[in-house]
């Protein structure tokens, strides 16, 4: 039997005798083949599966995403960054939004189960989970599962099978491994053979369950070069998310690579200290959570050359309005998707403050003590012009698909699909 390359499935293959008559293609000459217990189909002879593009009928139903336009079921992804940037915190908050079915800033999520496996820092990991569960908006959720393991556990085929069985029984469609370095253990991440262990694991998970797999990883010495290790990882992943902390103190989560989607979407966020209670000596027990995610770079705006002039000005005001926490959570389309919704009254005030519309005359700032018929008439005319300017721009932005707008309410819809 041909020696199997070293990877996550090492030592799991068995030999099976093949009779030439068992192969309908007539290609087999008999002998033995290597068969993986989780992939018995690997023993079948390869067949060229051809089709014509004209015969394709695409399924356009929106059932395959986890985070619409950014993360799909079956994706292999890596969340990387330098120590202390907050990458693990981001992954926990993001996965918790998915299991709760809550919108993540400007994106829909599809509610499904997630499994977060940590391979280091068990005590701190549990505190972070408790802190996240205490956040407003997150109800107790049985779809979010967590586990503390050793990286060496994944070398055991029986453990791998138990992971797959659990994922199937619990409807898990997202698994997160924290960290990739611990997962690889003594395998060299700077070689193709070493990094292939992680890639093969994700492929096995996808084949068996259809779930997405995200690895938490470190960036190299030069953070601009992306995730640390052999380039085979970057070639294999569908999704790359960088988490950084620039010199100005802000924290940024950026979708660097999105297969079939929009690269470059950025969110700023806060890493907030949260008290969980007091210990037996009366001292506070604390952890951190990633929260207050805000749209920082809107690639839809950058890539859409149709947004110009007045429309671009108002769109930037709308994006900033929601990024700063404006509006309230509502379901404007009646489709079960909650997002932040603002009113044109609020937008009028913000637009006036940012110079998009005519400001109130100096004589009216702070109010007037005596009514002035002429001034009052001019003020009404000014307000009507301003309202018309806002309404026209909102209508055009709605036509471009950049906002939802049903007077007097407006909102940011989910971004373009993958």
| Per-residue model confidence as pLDDT tens for the chain (418 residues) | 444 444 444 445 444 444 544 444 444 444 554 455 555 555 567 888 888 888 888 776 667 899 988 999 999 999 999 999 999 999 999 999 999 888 888 788 999 999 999 998 888 898 998 888 887 666 666 689 999 998 888 888 888 898 999 999 999 999 999 999 999 998 999 999 999 999 999 999 999 999 999 999 999 877 778 899 999 999 999 999 999 998 777 899 999 999 888 788 889 899 999 999 999 999 999 999 998 888 775 555 555 666 788 888 898 898 888 877 788 878 777 766 667 889 999 999 999 988 999 887 765 444 444 445 556 788 888 899 999 999 999 998 888 888 889 999 998 875 433 2
Selection from 264, 363, 356, 354 nearest residue 310 by Cα: 356
Question: Which sign does the torsion angle of CA 298, 303, 309, 311 carry?
Answer: negative
User: Which homologous superfamily does the CATH classification assign to the domain defined by 65-296?
Assistant: P-loop containing nucleotide triphosphate hydrolases (3.40.50.300)
Residues of the chain with CATH 3.40.50.300: 65-296
* 90 C-beta neighbours (distance < 10 Å), count: 23
Closest CA to 157 of 218, 191, 208, 107: 208
Say how far apart CA 136 and CA 268 lie, in whole Å: 19
CA 390, CA 283: separation in Å to the nearest integer? 53
DSSP H or E run through 88 = helix 87-100
Instruction: Please name the residue that has the structure tokens 């707008």.
Output: 405
User: What backbone torsions phi and psi does residue 302 show, to the nearest 5 degrees?
Assistant: -65, -40
pLDDT tens profile 85-140: 999 999 999 999 999 888 888 788 999 999 999 998 888 898 998 888 887 666 66
pLDDT at 370: 46
For tokens 């008559």, name the residue.
21
Q: Tell me the sheet residues that pair with 121.
A: none
DSSP 219: B
Closest by CA to 177, choosing from 160, 193, 157, 158, is 160
Q: Is the peptide bond before 408 cis (omega within 30 degrees of 0)?
A: yes
- CB half-sphere exposure, 348, CA atoms < 13 A: 16
């Amino acid at each position: 039997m041909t020696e199997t390359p070293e990877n996550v499935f090492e030592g799991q293959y068995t030999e099976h005798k093949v009779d030439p008559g068992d192969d309908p293609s007539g290609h087999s000459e008999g002998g033995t083949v290597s068969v993986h217990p989780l992939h018995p189909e690997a023993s079948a002879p390869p067949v060229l599966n051809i089709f014509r593009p004209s015969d394709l009928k695409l399924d356009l139903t929106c059932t395959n995403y986890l985070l619409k336009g950014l993360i799909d079921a079956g994706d292999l992804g890596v969340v990387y960054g330098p120590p202390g940037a907050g990458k693990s915190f981001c992954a926990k908050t993001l996965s918790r939004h998915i299991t709760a079915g809550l919108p993540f800033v400007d994106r829909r999520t599809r509610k499904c189960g997630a499994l977060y496996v940590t391979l280091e820092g068990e005590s701190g990991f549990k505190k972070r989970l408790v802190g996240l569960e205490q956040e407003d908006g997150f109800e107790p959720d049985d779809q979010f599962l967590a586990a503390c393991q050793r990286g060496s556990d994944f070398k055991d085929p029986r453990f791998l099978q138990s992971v797959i069985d659990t994922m199937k029984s619990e409807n898990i469609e997202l698994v997160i491994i924290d960290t990739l370095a611990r997962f690889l253990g003594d395998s060299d991440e700077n070689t193709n053979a070493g990094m292939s262990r992680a890639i093969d694991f994700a492929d096995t998970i996808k084949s068996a369950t259809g779930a997405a797999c995200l690895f938490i990883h470190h960036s190299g010495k030069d953070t601009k070069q992306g995730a640390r290790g052999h380039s085979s990882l970057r070639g294999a992943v569908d999704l790359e998310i960088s988490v950084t902390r620039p010199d100005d103190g802000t924290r940024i989560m950026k979708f660097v690579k999105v297969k079939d989607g929009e690269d470059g979407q950025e969110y700023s966020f806060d890493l907030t200290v949260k008290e969980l209670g007091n210990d037996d000596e009366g001292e506070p027990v604390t952890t951190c959570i990633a929260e207050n995610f805000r749209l920082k770079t809107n690639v839809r705006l950058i890539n859409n050359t149709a947004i110009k002039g007045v429309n671009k000005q108002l769109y930037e005001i709308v994006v900033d309005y929601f990024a700063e926490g404006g509006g309230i959570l509502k379901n404007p389309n009646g489709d079960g998707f909650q997002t932040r919704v603002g009113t044109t009254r609020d937008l009028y005030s913000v637009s006036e403050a940012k110079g998009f519309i005519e400001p109130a005359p100096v004589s009216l700032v702070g109010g007037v003590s005596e009514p002035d018929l002429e001034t009052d008439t001019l003020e009404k005319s000014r307000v009507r012009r301003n309202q018309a300017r806002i309404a026209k721009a909102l209508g055009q932005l709605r036509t471009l698909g950049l906002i939802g707008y049903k007077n007097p309410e407006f909102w940011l819809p989910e971004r373009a699909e993958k």
